[in-house]
Amino acid sequence: MKNKKFDICKILFLLSLFITPLLCSFFVVILNNYEKYSSLFKTSIVLSICICLIVLVITFIQLVKDNMIFTKKNMFAKVAVFVFFSVFVFENVSAVHFIYYDENFKEWLISSSSSSIRYQDLAGQIYSKYTLDDYSNDEEEMETDIIDFDVDYNLNLYANKYEQEIMEHEEGQIYKIIKLTGKTSGTGSNYVGYLAVVYDPSHVKLAKSSGAGVDDNAYGETLATIARKNNALVAINAGGFYDPFWNSNGGIPHGDVFIDGKLDTTFRRGDFGGGIVGFNKENKLILKYMSTEEAINAGIRDAVDWGPFLIVNGVNQYKNNQTYWECGRTAIGQRADGVVLLLVVDGLQSHSQGASYKDLADILERYGAVNAASMDGGTSTSMVENGKYVNSPWNGYYPTFRWLPNAWVVVP
């Protein structure tokens, strides 16, 4: 009986020893491409790792307790298991390091995958979209036999390159997304952002979590969930929410929330300045500190109470501001021609340090915003297009998708 018990423990120990590093390696893949996998799948991997570790520890203790391994009489088994474990862990760590840090291998795998029909998405399952962008061959110069000659066309159709980026679009196009890169005004760190340009403001609505409210049972939903439930083409997070000790479920929005011309919820205001940020029935973005009654009388259709205001009536409120608090940021703005600008900037990550309020105001000013305000930022900062995250939501340590009370959505 004792031998049978020992055999079972030995088999479980060896299986755990073999499977655990594999699961941990795959978990690294998930962390580097977080948005590719469902929550259920990610949870299953984490639970599997925990179970394997528990089994590994329990069986190891049992084997030692039975005095049938790691004794002087079983010195060969002791050495064999130690060598096996060391080599296997070393191989897995080396493989992960090779895949993610060897530049030549990354370049080869990405280029080979993109040119293969059968394995076209292999690199996309391993690397994040930022790594794929860095190694993309789309911008390689191609040799040509076409004779180059000068033509005196008048191509000065736009005031500047930012105006051109905004206005160049197909007829009937509802929106476009522009990837932004630059340096922050404070520390000079890199930032990466995404600007959704919506050509008809009537397509921009405020949507809320199915469980948003002001009672103890209120709950938020991820941006992807809110977007899916509202058939949104694009969505960004909107107002802030009651978040005691930074661990709430995002269900209670701060301030007044208006949806479709009606007051949806009202709770104590947040502490980020500003006021009502939203659209009236004429689809004009309104920025004004006002009471609930004043907002109703002003014909507000969709709005949150948040801030601070970044640009008011064409005046950059942070032109000479010297406050440089950089983190993930979200903002909404509108140009004089009615075009709506939805902006997110990734924060506290290797590819993007984040942005300050001044950076947000300067970016939106360059793209012609006459009114703009900051939305909730940090961990909440997120943008979704057709159900998939465009940016990289981050909580300071790892990818995360925060539960939110509401979101600005672009609907067909």
From residue 246, alpha-carbon distances to 155, 213, 240 in Å are 52, 18, 12
Q: What is the pLDDT of residue 38?
A: 61
First to last CA, the chain: 69
Residues 6+ apart with CB under 8 A from 383: 177, 194, 196, 223, 234, 235, 236, 342, 344, 389, 390, 391
| pLDDT in 10s for each residue of the chain, 412 residues | 556 766 777 788 778 777 877 777 667 666 555 555 566 776 787 788 888 888 878 877 777 666 555 555 556 666 666 666 676 667 666 666 666 666 666 666 666 655 554 444 556 656 665 565 555 544 433 343 444 444 444 445 788 999 999 999 999 999 999 999 999 999 999 999 999 999 999 999 999 999 999 998 999 999 999 999 999 999 999 999 998 876 789 999 999 999 999 999 999 998 788 999 999 999 999 999 999 999 999 999 999 999 999 999 999 999 988 778 899 999 999 999 999 999 999 999 999 999 999 999 999 999 999 999 999 999 999 999 999 999 999 887 778 899 999 999 999 9
- What distance in Å separates the CA atoms of residue 230 and residue 410, rounded to the nearest whole number? 9
What is the per-residue pLDDT for 61?
77
The pLDDT, as a whole number, for residue 381 is: 97
What is residue 258's predicted lDDT score, i.e. its pLDDT? 98
- How far apart CA 312 and CA 85 sit, in angstroms, is 63
pLDDT at residue 139 in the model = 40
pLDDT recorded at residue 163: 92
DSSP H/E element including 226: helix 223-229
Give the Cα separation of 316 and 27 in Å (integer). Answer: 44
